[in-house]
Amino acid sequence: MTPTGCVIALVLAFVIDYLSAGPDSIRDRLAFLIAVAGFRDGFNGSPLDQWTVQRAHDAIGYLLSLADGAYIAGASINGIIGAFVGCLALYTVGCLLPEKAAKFTGRLARLKFPRVSGRINWKLWLCAFLIGVLAELPRGLIGGWTEGVVVLLTQLTAPLIVLLFGAA
């Protein structure tokens, strides 16, 4: 997407979430999917992305330094950040799945983004930002799945923005 398309995608997702039209589950899904694409194209590789990764790296490094001399202190910080992003992606999938899917997924589909005071679901937006800009960090099966889905969402959102607003 172009820079204008990214801004339009984020504004559209914000308006969808703010208007609170329709059931929470549909609104949350639509706002999340559009926001992830906007964050991915708009901020991935940016100074904000680098700052986010560096702060996470510093925090985890500090915690590992507290375990000085323990076996766990040798853990890979990048691996830990990737695992957190992968777990966040799994949590988000659970929150976005319809409750009927619990027949196949168990408790995962019963997760929901908690409603927060006010009109905007900031927990949804935080997950969208973190997954959008950090999707390339997880490794393995979950990492490949996460990055692939985010890239696919980005490719599907661009034509939607062109169709609705004439800019991608």
Predicted confidence (pLDDT) per residue in 11-60, tens digit:
999 998 888 766 666 888 888 999 999 999 999 889 999 999 999 999 99
Q: Is the pLDDT at 89 greater than 70, yes or no?
A: yes
Domain boundaries, given as residue ranges, for the chain = 3-165
Q: How far is CA 24 from CA 21, 49, 53, 124, in A?
A: 8, 29, 31, 12
Q: Is the pLDDT at 159 greater than 70, yes or no?
A: yes
What sign for the dihedral angle of Cα 33, 35, 40, 41?
positive
pLDDT of residue 26: 80
CA atoms within 13 A on the CB side of 153: 25
Measure the CA–CA gap between 39 and 6, rounded to whole angstroms.
7
**Segment 96-126, tens digit of pLDDT:** 887 777 778 877 777 777 766 667 888 889 9
Q: Among residues 7, 80, 78, 82, which one has the least CA distance to residue 43?
A: 7
Mean pLDDT throughout 55-82? 88
Mean pLDDT of all residues in the chain? 86
pLDDT of residue 166: 83
Give ∠ CA 49-74-62 in degrees, rounded to 5: 50
Mean pLDDT throughout 89-95? 87
> Picking from 45-49, 69-73, 77-81, 131-135, which range would have the lowest pLDDT averaged per residue?
69-73
Q: Are 39 and 129 in contact (CB under 8 A)?
A: yes
Q: Are 134 and 81 in contact (CB under 8 A)?
A: yes
- In this prediction, residue 165 has a pLDDT band, given cuts at 50, 70 and 90, of confident
Q: Buried b / exposed e across 140-153, counting CB within 10 Å, b at 16+?
A: eebbebbbebbeeb
Share above pLDDT 90 across residues of the chain, in percent, rounded to a whole number: 35
- In this prediction, residue 152 has a pLDDT band, given cuts at 50, 70 and 90, of very high
